[in-house]
């Protein structure tokens, strides 16, 4: 007996001491993948944050197309400008040549100013010298205004956020009931053969390029809406058609994740419901669905994140411009659509327009991150464990 015990102890010691080089390499590789993912996320946040910070801290000078009407010396506190060009207001900071001034009062084309601001020297200026206006973007303006037009110094992001939320809401109104209905059918009603046929069809929807969906929205969904509600009501570019097609796009995501959550519910719960006289529909809706609530809710929130981040459909079908409107039949530009449109044009590097794209991207990142955090909390809160 002692001999057997000693042999067993020797075997256990040998197994513990044997080097598992292959397992160690696999573990190190998996750890490296996790570290790379974390570092990539940190890098994205850092770049978005640093470029976004420049939008709110940098002072830039915008040409007003106004010029001095007459020569001034270093002691003059009253300026006369030409009548053409942008309006100037009390409190504006202007630059004439190398000198920075602050406008105290405006009377027509006459400005009362404070000279030599921002550590610049008051010097004489010749007639015809151009006047530039200081342009700064405040966080209050960015998050509190509804007009977005960087070309004229308007940086109210709510125009873009509103259009993004409108298209996402319309998409969810389409995808959630349809996707959940498909998931319930596949999980509770479909035969194995029907499931094998329908699942690949849904995957085809997920594999269609989004640019194709965009042109589908523009050439099919928009004419359909115009024929139903009238051409005078529905504009050619509108958020309704974009939102409806985004809903079609995310149906596979909702149905696939919801079907997985429903299928994970133990069959014993279904059998107990049938034994009590419940119909198949009552079992699916009143027993299986509540038991899979955490997974289904997570699917809904992830679908919302996908809808918010969609780019090509809204860039093609929703239109451009900074319209702040709650009418889904009008054109409005979403956050992702604006990024695509502006970044593909003649955008000067290190300008306010350029930095504003990163600020929009950071806000979009925070929105989707918030939805993902809520999803994780809901999963933890409503998760049910069965044995």
Same domain, 12 and 115: no
In a domain, 141, yes or no: no
Rounded (to 5) percent helix, strand, coil in the chain: 60, 10, 25
Q: From residue 20, how far is each of 16, 17, 25, 27, 32 by CA, in Å?
A: 10, 9, 9, 11, 18
SS3 of 183, please?
Answer: helix
Residue 320 to residue 242: CA distance in whole angstroms? 13
Same domain, 23 and 89: no
CB 359, CB 55: distance < 8 Å: yes
pLDDT recorded at residue 169 = 95
Quickly count: other Cβ atoms within 10 Å of residue 143's Cβ. Answer: 13
Same domain, 20 and 94: no
CB 328, CB 238: distance < 8 Å: yes
In a domain, 351, yes or no: yes
Contacts of 322 (CB under 8 A, 6+ apart): 147, 148, 149, 154, 159, 160, 333
- Contacts of range 170-173, beta carbons closer than 8 Å, 24 or more positions apart: 170/239, 170/240, 170/242, 170/243, 170/244, 170/246, 170/247, 170/328, 171/243, 171/244, 171/246, 171/247, 171/249, 171/250, 171/303, 171/307, 171/310, 172/247, 172/300, 172/303, 172/304, 172/307, 173/247
Same domain, 173 and 31: no
Same domain, 106 and 35: no
Same domain, 66 and 213: no
Q: What is the pTM of this model?
A: 0.80
pLDDT recorded at residue 35 = 93
pLDDT recorded at residue 385 = 57
Residue 304 to residue 183: CA distance in whole angstroms? 17
Total number of domains constituting the chain: 3
Same domain, 34 and 47: yes
The string over 328-347, giving b where at least 16 C-beta atoms fall within 10 Å of a residue's C-beta and e elsewhere, is: bbbbbbbbbbbbbebeeeee
The stretches in the chain having pLDDT less than 50 are none
Nearest to 245 by CA among 319, 300, 301, 314: 314
Same domain, 339 and 216: yes
Residue 254 to residue 181: CA distance in whole angstroms? 10
In a domain, 143, yes or no: no
In a domain, 146, yes or no: no
Quickly count: other Cβ atoms within 10 Å of residue 294's Cβ. Answer: 17
pLDDT recorded at residue 251 = 92
Same domain, 332 and 208: yes
**Domain boundary at 135, 162, 188, which?**
135
Nearest to 158 by CA among 172, 141, 171, 170: 141
Q: In sequence order, what are the beta bridge partners of 94?
A: 101, 133
In a domain, 320, yes or no: yes
In a domain, 145, yes or no: no
Same domain, 253 and 370: yes
Same domain, 172 and 308: yes
In a domain, 323, yes or no: yes
What confidence tens digit (pLDDT) does each residue in 169-225 have? 999 999 999 999 999 998 888 888 888 888 888 888 888 889 999 999 999 999 999
Q: In sequence order, what are the beta bridge partners of 55?
A: none
Tokens 């513990």 correspond to 16
Structure tokens at 383: 């998760």
Same domain, 37 and 100: no
CATH number of the domain residue 94 falls in: 2.40.30
Beta strands in 68-189 (DSSP E): 78-80, 93-96, 99-107, 110-117, 130-135, 148-149, 154-155
Residue 152 per-residue DSSP state: G
HSE-up (13 A, CA, CB side) for residue 129: 19
In a domain, 241, yes or no: yes
Range of the domain at 171: 154-382
pLDDT recorded at residue 16 = 58
CATH number of the domain residue 375 falls in: 1.10.3720.10
């Amino acid at each position: 007996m002692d001999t057997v015990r000693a042999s067993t102890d020797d075997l256990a010691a040998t197994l513990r001491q044997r080097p598992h080089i292959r397992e160690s390499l696999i573990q190190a590789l998996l750890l490296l993948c996790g570290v790379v993912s974390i570092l990539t996320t940190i890098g994205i946040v850092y770049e978005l944050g640093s470029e976004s910070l420049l939008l709110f801290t940098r002072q830039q000078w915008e040409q007003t197309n106004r010029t001095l009407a007459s020569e001034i010396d270093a002691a003059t506190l009253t300026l006369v400008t030409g009548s053409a060009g942008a309006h100037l207001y009390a409190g504006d900071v202007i630059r004439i040549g190398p000198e920075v001034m602050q406008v105290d009062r405006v009377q027509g084309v006459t400005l009362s100013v404070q000279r030599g601001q921002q550590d610049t020297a008051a010097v004489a200026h010749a007639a015809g010298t151009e006047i530039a206006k200081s342009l700064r973007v405040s966080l209050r303006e960015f998050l509190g205004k509804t007009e977005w037009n960087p070309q004229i110094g308007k940086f109210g992001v709510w125009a873009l956020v509103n259009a993004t939320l409108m298209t996402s809401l319309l998409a969810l109104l389409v995808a959630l009931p349809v996707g959940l209905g498909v998931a319930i059918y596949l999980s509770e009603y479909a035969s194995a053969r029907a499931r094998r046929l329908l699942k690949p069809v849904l995957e085809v929807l997920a594999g269609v390029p989004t640019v194709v969906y965009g042109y589908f929205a523009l050439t099919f969904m928009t004419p359909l809406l115009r024929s139903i509600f009238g051409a005078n009501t529905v504009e050619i570019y509108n958020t309704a058609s974009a939102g409806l097609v985004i809903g079609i796009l995310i149906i596979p995501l909702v149905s696939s994740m919801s079907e997985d959550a429903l299928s994970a519910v133990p069959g014993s719960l279904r059998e107990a419901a049938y034994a009590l006289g419940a119909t198949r529909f009552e079992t699916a809706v009143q027993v299986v669905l509540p038991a899979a609530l955490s997974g289904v809710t997570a699917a809904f929130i992830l679908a919302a994140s996908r809808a918010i981040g969609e780019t090509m459909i809204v860039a093609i079908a929703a239109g451009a411009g900074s319209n702040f409107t709650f009418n889904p039949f009008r054109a409005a530009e979403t956050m992702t659509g604006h990024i695509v449109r502006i970044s593909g044009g003649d955008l000067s590097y290190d300008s306010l327009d350029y930095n504003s794209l990163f600020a929009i991207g950071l806000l979009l990142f925070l929105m989707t991150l918030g939805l993902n955090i809520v999803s994780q909390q809901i999963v933890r809160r409503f998760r049910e464990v069965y044995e």
